[in-house]
Structure formats: structure tokens, C-alpha cells
Amino acid sequence: MKHAIAVTYVLLLINFSGATEHGITGGKVAKPHSRPYMASLQIQGQHICGGMLIRKDYVLTAAHCKNCSQDITVVLGAHNISKKERSQQRINVKKYHVHPEFKAGQYEYDIMLLQLEKNAKVNDNVATIDLATKNEDIPANTNCEVAGWGRTGPNQTISDVLMETTESIQFSFECKHIWKKYFNSTHMICTKFNKKTGGICQGDSGGPLICDSKAQGITAFTFANECDDPKHPHVFTKVRSFLQWMKKVMKD
């Protein structure tokens, strides 16, 4: 178990590879541009992580998505990332704001803000998403949405098109029982799922967990090499735990 968890971050980052017409394990193809806040983070034209536009000049994602010295390009307004769609906006990153307490290989504080070189043009295909602000936990068994261009399952390729599905909020004490010291309910949310409806996998890191039309979480980690194993809940960084930090970064 310890060895498997230790390499979990490798799971949710994507290695450069070809793509297929599927994504998110067990999910369905999202209606094109129905999630205009979604961002594909790319290096040399290859998708590595997801993200979400929270202001015209800022994208929210996971800190572990900045895993190398190469620059990330943010692609907004995309549905099929294998094509150069007219709706797409490709914007370079001006500055990477990794949470100061995040450490590579660790699980806490897995959050990053990408300051864009220029404002995104908001239209029917590109728009911001609201963040959760209520200082209360989401009730267990609440159905929430996830989306991304990640792998269809362990050892599968990434998706050309945006995929989506639902996962349910898991009781925090159950997450703690399973993930032990790697789960901190102050900063994390976890979800349960089944193989049929599926959920997040490698390449979906940084994408949103959406409950009640608001971003509650940032896709963080799953069980290593077995993202579709229902015995191990998926884990997300809890957005509302970092609102003050985000406000400070975006104000400065």
C-alpha cells in the first residue's frame, strides 16, 4: 500500500502519448463547449493536466501539474484537443503561483494558480466558473461532476474529446480509514464511484469537482495504477480551504 501511494502523483499526470475517442473511465462525451471553464494544460502541444478558468486572467489547477521546467500553454474553449478548433484560445502562462507549502511528492497544499499573459476572451465557448464559498462540508452521497481529457483507464491513452461523469462525496472518516496519513479532511475531499460510471484518471489532474454548479475540488490523486478501483476513493484538493490564499495572489 505504501509503495503504491508513493507513486500516485505519476498516475494523474499524463505522459506524452496518442489519443483515443474516449476519456474519464466509464464516462460519456460532454456536449461540446457545455463546460466553457475547462482548460487543457499542454506542453509542446500535448495535454498533461486539466484546469479551470476562475477569472479572465487566472486558471486554477493542481500544484503537481508543474512537474518540470518546461512552460505550460493554457488551451481554453476546446472540445477536441487533437484539432485546432476555431473556438480555442491558446494563452501562455505569465507566472506560476504554486502554494508556498506544497512540496513535490507530497499530498498537502496541492493547488496552483496560473496567471495568464493576457486575458481570456469570454464568449459562448470560454467562461469562468464560480468557486465554493460556504464554510461547510458537502453532505456525503451528494452527486458531483468531474470532467477531463484524461485516460480511459489504467494503461489506456488520453482522450481527444472532453469527457464527463459523476462521483459521490464520501464520508471523510471513511477516506481517512482507507488513505490513512495521506488524507487530511481540512484540505481534501474524497469521492466514491463504481466501475460502470467511472471517474477521474491519469491526465485529469487539476480539473474540477463540481457540486451545485460550483467548483468544490481540484483533482489530485487516486490509487496508483488503478484509478478505476472503487475500493480506493478519489481525492481532491478542497477549494474553499484556500480561498484567502487565492484572493491574496490574485489581488497582488
- Which of 22, 40, 47, 205 does the annotation list as catalytic? 205
> In sequence order, what are the residues at sequence separation of 6 or more whose Cβ sits closer than 8 angstroms to the Cβ of residue 102?
63, 64, 108, 109, 110, 111, 112
* Interatomic CA distance for residues 203 and 161, integer angstroms: 13
Q: Which of 25, 5, 36 is nearest to 203 (CA)?
A: 25
Cell of 179: 488513505
Q: 223: which strand partners?
A: none
* Interatomic CA distance for residues 123 and 77, integer angstroms: 9
Residues shown for the chain:
252
The DSSP bridge pattern shows strands 214-221 and 208-211 to be antiparallel
- Which of 64, 79, 232, 234 does the annotation list as catalytic? 64
* Interatomic CA distance for residues 50 and 81, integer angstroms: 12
Cell of 233: 476513493
- Which of 110, 160, 204, 228 does the annotation list as catalytic? 110
Please confirm, yes or no, whether 82 is among the known catalytic residues. Answer: no
Q: How far is CA 216 from CA 133, 184, 212, 239, in A?
A: 9, 15, 9, 5
Helix intervals (H) in 67-150: none
Please confirm, yes or no, whether 110 is among the known catalytic residues. Answer: yes
Catalytic sites, residue numbers: 64, 110, 205
